[in-house]
Structure 1
Amino acid sequence: MLHYAITDPKYYTSNPNTLLQTLKKVLVQKRVDMVSLRDKKTDKYEELAKSFLSIQSKYTLTKFLLHTDYQLAANLGAFGVHLPSSSLDKISDAKSKGLWVIASTHSLEEATFAENEGADAITYSPIFETPGKGEPKGLEKLKEIKGKIAIKLFALGGIVTESHIDAVKDAGADGFASIRFFLK
């Protein structure tokens, strides 16, 4: 089961130094196979991304991804990019830059589209109750989606306990993604 941490300015801030302090604690205290810099609020994403990526050579067991900006991810040497569902049409562009691509999906149609466009993996969400994310999809829908795609599927949304991780693993997910789980 792969562990995918996603940053959020609510917990990591948009300050490069504070982001790094929090991220380093997470990387030391928890298993993190992948981490994505997600900050939709900052107007200084490039500065934040440079700080975020400055430690990737120290944490070689963790793959570092930027969120949305695949051109910046390629320019700064990130492992990959996490594309939101509104940017599924950019998957092939990101792949052409040599990036590993994970795409956010919320339906079977989006999942199969992402796979057909060449995504390496998808997140499918929200699985459990998550503040501000709408009706949970649930474990049965997760299992159904996983049964219809060949690429890696990361369960996302409301995964904050070990029992949540066990449940999504039992439903067939290849990994899980979370913001809050890694901060506990």
Structure 2
Amino acid sequence: MKQYLITDPSAYGSLPEALERSLETAFSKSFPDFALFRDKQTSDYRSLALTFIAVCRDHAVPTVLLHGDYAMAHELKADGVHLTSAQFDAITEAKKLGLYVIISTHTHDEALMAQKLGADAITYSPIFPSPGKGDPKGLEDLKEIVAKIDIPVFALGGIVTEAQIDAVEKSGAYGFASIRYFVP
């Protein structure tokens, strides 16, 4: 089961040194296969993204992604981009740049569209209750989407315990993505 760490600015604020400490703490707990720098608050995304990429490279994280901005991901030499569910039109452009593309999905139709447009993987959410994310999809719905598409599915949303991870693994999902599992 692949592990996908997603950052949260509440864990590091706006300073590169704090981001580095937060990542060191997260990597000491569990080593992710994928890591995403996601910060919708900072005015200095580029600087923090550079720190994020450098720390992930130092720790040999296999796949390092930036959130939303595929041109910046390419420019800063990240491995890929995680697009929002409003960015389906960016999949083709990101793929032209040679990026690994994950896109957020919340419905079966979105998941199928992501596959059709060439995304490498999706997140599907929320699986479990998660603050501010609406009603959870649940494990049965996750199993259904995993059976419907051929690209990897990362379960996302409210995944914080080993029991939840085991349940996601039994669903057939490729992996799980989380903020709070890695950085409580």
Match of 1:91 in 2: 91
Match of 1:141 in 2: 141
Match of 1:26 in 2: 26
SS in 2 for 1:123: strand
SS in 2 for 1:135: coil
The 2-side partners of 1:130 and 1:56 are apart by 26
Aligned pair 1:122/2:104, yes or no? Answer: no
1:149-164 matched pairs, under 5 angstroms: 149-164=149-164
Aligned pair 1:59/2:54, yes or no? Answer: no
Give the aligned CA root-mean-square deviation in angstroms: 1.0
Task: Point out 4+ residue stretches in structure 1 off by more than 6 angstroms.
Answer: none
Contact kept in structure 2, 1:14 and 1:39, CA below 8 Å: no
Per-residue deviation, 1:31: 2.1
Amino acid of the structure 2 residue aligned with 1:53 = I
SS in 1 for 2:90: helix
Amino acid of the structure 1 residue aligned with 2:162 = E
Contact kept in structure 2, 1:6 and 1:38, CA below 8 Å: yes
Amino acid of the structure 2 residue aligned with 1:99 = L
SS in 1 for 2:46: helix
Gap regions ≥5 residues in structure 2 = none
The 2-side partners of 1:116 and 1:59 are apart by 33
User: Percent identical across equivalent pairs?
Assistant: 52
Please, what TM-score do these two structures have when normalized by structure 1? 0.97
Per-residue deviation, 1:12: 2.7
The 2-side partners of 1:113 and 1:12 are apart by 35
Contact kept in structure 1, 2:23 and 2:55, CA below 8 Å: no
The 1-side partners of 2:81 and 2:69 are apart by 7
Cα displacement string for residues 14-71 of structure 1 (whole angstroms, at most 9, x for unaligned residues) = 2211011111221132121111000011111111111111223322243211000110
